[in-house]
A and B are shown apart, each in its own frame.
Chain A
């Protein structure tokens, strides 16, 4: 058995022009070209997309779920960032 492993790639698909690419899953392949082919065969067999991005999984840096509270909570009490916070008439196109 080979000691070398095929690296992991994350796959992002744009389902229609105008929309963002969305993460759909991942796959193993040796290089971007193979990954692209495999992504097409795996994730767009029913015309799910018009464009594919593939990114080496190891190149993705994610926020830590352990830190989520400290990371995201500061936004919790900033209700003034939302339009409903303001006391203005609703019928004036504001």
Chain B
């Protein structure tokens, strides 16, 4: 049911946002607010779903049963996060099929970081520590987003995320306490994942296309650069504890800013990977297309089974 437009609807919407109240599905909202949310929430959902692939790659090769159970549980959580978010987007009148089509056809984006390959077991540690760590920083901030269903999905997600980062850090800790080869493996994974993780927060505030409007509508609550800084600041002590070196020679404490300064991000690489030039862009989409096609008969069977059950119930009643 489309929200009903009435005189004063826009003023009421603005007042609700200004009062830090949530917008709910049946409320009137500007079409641009709705579209902006659909784009952000569906991209977020796609990222959760595609994000299963780099780690899923290691489930069968996890080094112990404990690690395997953990990784399986984590990847399972990410599938659930995708579901919560798709459901939140559906309250805005967009269908699941449409969102799925947009992903498979390449019209919709997902977090560019998942186009990097997971080459060694240490990558599973680095992904949990850094990629989930960055996602948590971003998602905690988004719990205060102005759209009710999105905010509620994020609260649930953040609660589940809390073990993802810790299990990754624990893997890194174990590797760093192991042989020199194992520690080198951990450093190598950190070297490859560090910069792409910083890119996860998106372009600098001045260059971010959707950011300003999103901040005004309180869809986003903190800027890309603010969140990125928060992540860098928390990562330094964590790397130190592991005895690993963050791969940035410009990284140093700035007492005047009360933050760490860090080096320039390679935005050309970001654009290149975002636009399809990453190592795994094609295989990620292919995996999703295959999953869609391979699942077709299952969905078909579910519907057919339900039809038969209904027909049988009618027969029994007759």
Contact = CB atoms under 8 A, between A and B. Distances in A.
B169 A82 contact: no
A33 B51 CA distance: 45
Interface string B270-281: 000000000000
B304 interface: no
A61 interface: no
Nearest to B230: A93
Nearest to B26: A51
Given A14-B24, A17-B24, A86 B148 contact: no
Contacts, number: 57
B13 interface: no
B241 A89 contact: yes
A20 interface: yes
A86 to B, nearest CB: 4
A1 interface: no
A78 B74 CA distance: 12
B66 interface: yes
A81 to B, nearest CB: 5
Please tell me the size bucket of the interface on A: 10 to 19
A80 B166 contact: no
Nearest to A20: B152
Contacts of B22: 17-18
A82 B165 contact: no
Contacts of B23: 17
A22 to B, nearest CB: 12
A93 B173 CA distance: 15
B73 A81 contact: yes
| Chain B interface main SS type | helix
B279 to A, nearest CB: 28
A80 B69 contact: yes
B16 interface: yes
A18 B73 contact: no
A93 B165 CA distance: 10
A18 B148 contact: yes
A83 B163 CA distance: 4
B163 A17 contact: no
A17 B163 CA distance: 29
Given A17-B24, A18-B21, A78-B73, A86 B66 contact: no
B141 interface: no
Given A17-B21, A18-B21, A80 B162 contact: no
Contact of B166 (A14, A18, A51, A86): A86
A62 interface: no
Interface in A11-30: 14, 17-18, 20
A74 B69 CA distance: 13
A94 interface: yes
Interface string A72-85: 00000010111101
Contacts of A93: 234, 237-238
A88 B21 contact: no
Interface-centre pick from B16, B66, B167 (highest chain A CB count, 10 A): B167
28 contacts: A14-B24, A17-B16, A17-B24, A17-B148, A18-B21, A18-B148, A18-B151, A18-B152, A20-B152, A51-B24, A80-B69, A80-B73, A80-B163, A81-B73, A81-B77, A83-B166, A85-B163, A86-B170, A87-B173, A88-B166, A92-B234, A92-B238, A92-B241, A93-B234, A93-B237, A93-B238, A94-B165, A94-B169
Interface of A: 14, 17-18, 20, 51, 78, 80-83, 85-89, 92-94
Q: When A and B form their complex, which 10 residue pairs have the shortest distance between CB atoms, in order from nearest?
A: A18-B22, A86-B166, A83-B162, A83-B163, A17-B22, A93-B234, A17-B21, A80-B70, A86-B170, A88-B169
